[in-house]
Amino acid sequence: MNWKELFTDPETINYINKLEAVANTLDKKGSIGSAFDKLLQVMPVKFVVIGGIARTKYAPARVTNDIDILLFSEQIYLELKKELISVPGFKPIKGRAHAWLCDGIEIEFCTPEWLFLPFSFVEYIFETAIPLENNGYIISKEALVVTKLFRNSETDRKDVLDILKGNPDIRVQEDFLNPKMHAIFNQIKKEIKTDS
């Protein structure tokens, strides 16, 4: 069954259309859709889609050139790595510890240890994630905002702004925010109020 057929609710169909819009802007051998389809077929463990693809579910689409996957631990990644070596279409990217190519699309297998995420927050991500199919989940908008605040790059900050604009009722678990993240979060909320 095609991955698109498994999504039926209007919100998810809209998400798929956004994904296709992003995928169509990429100058790649494959598409994000086909790489994601293969990923769903081969993943033996629970995983959560994070990053730019997940952001597309909650905010206007933006160009992204990879799929970011969160696994529960580094040990799980090391076991998965042994299996992926033999899967047709998957190959590790030299010099990049957690990056693989699948049909020309980069898949980044992130772990809490690699991202320096607190274990309690990783548990929260997995508990609140929205099911896709097989072992796949997509990060909740609340957890995505906190994840982006942890990273705090220019792109992450813009993503938080766009997610908050599109989801004014969002309730972020502020327990996970350190003082710096809290200040950034409040500053972004002020920017949104000023723009209104």
Q: Could you write out the DSSP letters of every residue in 169-191?
A: T----GGG--HHHHHHHHHHHHH
Residue 5 has pLDDT above 60, yes or no: no
Q: Which residue has the higher pLDDT, 22 or 39?
A: 39
Average pLDDT over residues 82-95: 90
Q: 83 vs 88, 110, 114, 123, CA distance in Å?
A: 11, 16, 20, 25
Is the pLDDT at 28 greater than 50? The verdict is: no
Map out the domains of the chain as residue ranges.
3-140
Residue-wise pLDDT for 100-158, tens only, equals 999 888 999 999 999 999 999 999 999 999 998 667 899 999 999 999 999 999 999 99
Q: According to the model, what pLDDT value does residue 30 have?
A: 60
The pLDDT, as a whole number, for residue 110 is 95
Weakest-pLDDT range from 14-18, 56-60, 130-134, 185-189: 14-18
CB distance 158 to 80 below 8 Å: no
Q: Which residues pair with 66 in a beta bridge?
A: 106
Using DSSP's 3-state secondary structure scheme, residue 68 falls into strand
Confidence (pTM): 0.82
Query: What pLDDT, on a 0 to 100 scale, did the predictor assign at position 122?
Result: 96
Residue 104, SS3 per DSSP: coil
- In this prediction, what percent of the chain has a pLDDT beyond 90? 54
Taking the C-alpha atoms of residue 187 and residue 14, their distance in angstroms, rounded to an integer, is 30
Q: In what order do the strands lie in the sheet with 90-92?
A: 90-92, 99-102, 105-110, 66-70, 47-50, 136-138, 130-131
State the pLDDT confidence band at 160, using cuts at 50, 70 and 90: very high
Class of the CATH domain delimited by 3-140: alpha beta
Could you tell me how far CA 120 lies from the centroid of its own chain? 18
Best CA proximity match to 51, nearest among 151, 126, 127: 151
Q: What is the mean pLDDT of the chain?
A: 84
pLDDT at residue 171 greater than cutoff 50: yes
